Structure 1
Amino acid sequence: MWTARPVWAILLTVVATLVAAYSSAVALVVPTSLPLWQRAVAGCVTSLVAVGLVVLWRRRLVHRPWSGVALSWSWRALGHGLLGLGIAAAAILTAQATCVAADACEWVPLSGVGIPLGEVVVSTFISAVLVQGFPEELLWRGNLTDLLGRRWGPGVVLLITSVAFGMLHLVSSGPQDGVGEHVLYVVMATALGFACGAARLRTGSTWAAVGVHGGFHLAKGLVPAQPEELAALLAAWTVALTVAGLALLLRRPARLRSHAAAERP
């Protein structure tokens, strides 16, 4: 089927990512502008749209089982998700602490944002996991990785999905300004894709990739650091995520699983 061919699969994944994101664009609004329950609903819509698109793609177009996306429900899956979250959070907090120590950033207390701490935590989780981590990893490290894995080896798939994921962020809105910061932002997103892909490859579970992606956003959202220059913080995140990805790949390489193999409950 043509939708399983590499170029078309990547392009359709980009389209599906944008459709899922914009299907509940209200979930991306500044936290104070919407009631918490509405943001939770919007986040769930984003995830459900991504699930629906993948189900339709796999059942109607490529005729491949859901197991290929490696998102089974099990205690092992929970462990993989927490592992990814912990690795990403440790990497990002280390990067930010390094920036603070080098006087390139300063910590921003959550108490200073004028929102109850509980609401900040829940809102950040909605954005980190429901809006970004789960739907994007389902599409990129779940479905797309499985489709490309039918044609290429794990290393090639990891490289291609990481670069394509990074390039998608050329259209991302954010605080980056100027050509240099936009380029660094794409490089950082590529490093995030690499770390997520490495977690998927290392564990055989897309939940580990969801954990890495969610952990990245949770760490920088709940323990924020304000940089003097955004480029310094982007560079620190890039290095930290790359090191985390390499650590996942290099640790006990004999136990690495093929990304095309589905996780068993």
Structure 2
Amino acid sequence: MSRSTPQRGSTAPASLTLRLAIATAGTLLIWLGVTRLSTALWGEGMSLAKHLTNAVGAFVLAVPLVLVLCRYVDHRPVSSLGLRGGGQAWRDALYGALTWLLPATGGLVVAIALGWLDIRLESSAAELVGAILLLVVLVFCYEAFPEELVFRGYVYRNLTSVVAPWVAVLVQAVLFSIFGTVLWVVTAGWGVFLERSVLFFGMAVVTGCIRLIAGSVWASIGFHLAFQVVMQLALSSSYVDIEVSDDGVFILATAVVAFCAATTVAGRLWRGPVNWTAPG
């Protein structure tokens, strides 16, 4: 058995559909409820208090949802979700972060060297380090861990019990895109529909492939964490004062380059056979 082949087990199609619907709809309701609550408490604009409320609320509701479904509906151990422990988890998370950081850094260096982009840090080095550490915690709790646990953990694991892993990657990407796009349309209106649906689907395909190649959900968590921390650090003035001359060029040089190159980098970091075709 290759490292990415799921543990044995099967799920009837009707039962599978219900489980995926519960996981996706439950996650969407949690995020909608948490964001509505934080907005009611702290107002429309993003603030540390609002971000912290979102992070705590999403984490303490979404993680138990997955654990309950896995333990009492699927009757599978939590380890079946790809949550390795100990040093292996740290290594997978670090490698996952590198699948984003390495190509993004390369793209950023090229963009700056060619004069397409200028970045200025107005805050001190200490403020920058503090902002990074703060965002790592907030993004991990609000987005990276719970979203990856649901979609690249629970949803992906259930899908691979009946379909080829590459099909599971595409299906979970569709469900993640529905979740993220509906959330944004409800909160920001229909004007974001196309942009967000493409973004969420593309990101979910990439993180799904990383999850498959690594055989660990910690890998996709690392990618997700690196992506969101850098984007929020550079494109938001909430935590540190960074001036980016062109947001579009920055996104192209970092996020788009990383999305295109991440699976190639992952294949270099995690070596060995990868099961793309056989359900487990």
TM bucket, shorter chain: 0.7 to 0.9
Q: Does 1:159 align with 2:170?
A: yes
Shift in CA distance, 43/169, structure 1 to aligned 2, threshold 3 Å: closer
In structure 2, C-alpha distance between the alignment counterparts of 1:252 and 1:206, rounded to whole Å: 13
In structure 2, C-alpha distance between the alignment counterparts of 1:216 and 1:161, rounded to whole Å: 19
Segment drifting more, 229-238 vs 8-17: 229-238
Instruction: Please list the CA deviations of residues 106-152 of structure 1 after superposition, one character each: whole Å capped at 9, or x if unmatched.
Output: 4353629xx94354223321332110000000000111111011100
The residue type paired with residue 61 of structure 2 is V
Shift in CA distance, 252/68, structure 1 to aligned 2, threshold 3 Å: closer
Q: Does 1:75 align with 2:87?
A: yes
Q: Tell me, what secondary structure is at the counterpart of 2:123?
A: helix
What's the counterpart of residue 8 of structure 1?
A: 18
Larger radius of gyration: 2
What's the counterpart of residue 19 of structure 1?
A: 29
Q: How many residues align?
A: 256
Instruction: Please list the CA deviations of residues 82-121 of structure 1 after superposition, one character each: whole Å capped at 9, or x if unmatched.
Output: 1101221233344455555676654353629xx9435422
Instruction: Please list the CA deviations of residues 7-46 of structure 1 after superposition, one character each: whole Å capped at 9, or x if unmatched.
Output: 4343323223223434543399756452xxx855752442
In structure 2, C-alpha distance between the alignment counterparts of 1:260 and 1:171, rounded to whole Å: 32
Aligned-pair CA distance for 1:196: 1.4
Contact 2:92 2:219 in 1 (8 A): yes
The residue type paired with residue 92 of structure 2 is H
Shift in CA distance, 165/251, structure 1 to aligned 2, threshold 3 Å: same
What's the counterpart of residue 159 of structure 2?
A: 148
Shift in CA distance, 32/110, structure 1 to aligned 2, threshold 3 Å: farther
Match 2:73 to one of 58, 61, 70: 61
For 1:227-246, what aligned pairs fall within 5 Å after superposition?
228=246, 230=248, 233=251, 237-246=255-264
What's the counterpart of residue 215 of structure 1?
A: 226
Unpaired runs of 5+ residues, structure 2, are 1-10, 236-242
In structure 1, C-alpha distance between the alignment counterparts of 2:184 and 2:117, rounded to whole Å: 21
For 1:154-233, what aligned pairs fall within 5 Å after superposition?
154-173=165-184, 182-224=193-235, 226=244, 228=246, 230=248, 233=251
The residue type paired with residue 12 of structure 1 is I
What's the counterpart of residue 266 of structure 2?
A: 248
What's the counterpart of residue 5 of structure 2?
A: none
In structure 1, C-alpha distance between the alignment counterparts of 2:137 and 2:114, rounded to whole Å: 32
Shift in CA distance, 172/97, structure 1 to aligned 2, threshold 3 Å: farther
Contact 2:177 2:200 in 1 (8 A): yes
Output the TM-score relative to the length of structure 2.
0.72
In structure 1, C-alpha distance between the alignment counterparts of 2:76 and 2:121, rounded to whole Å: 47
Contact 1:46 1:130 in 2 (8 A): yes
Shift in CA distance, 250/24, structure 1 to aligned 2, threshold 3 Å: same
Higher relative contact order (CA closer than 8 Å, sequence separation 6+): 2
Shift in CA distance, 126/39, structure 1 to aligned 2, threshold 3 Å: farther
In structure 2, C-alpha distance between the alignment counterparts of 1:24 and 1:11, rounded to whole Å: 20
Q: Tell me, what secondary structure is at the counterpart of 1:111?
A: coil
In structure 1, C-alpha distance between the alignment counterparts of 2:193 and 2:257, rounded to whole Å: 17
Aligned-pair CA distance for 1:206: 0.6
In structure 2, C-alpha distance between the alignment counterparts of 1:58 and 1:52, rounded to whole Å: 10
| Percent pairwise identity | 20
Alpha-carbon RMSD across the aligned residues, in angstroms, is: 4.0
Output the TM-score relative to the length of structure 1.
0.76
In structure 2, C-alpha distance between the alignment counterparts of 1:261 and 1:206, rounded to whole Å: 18
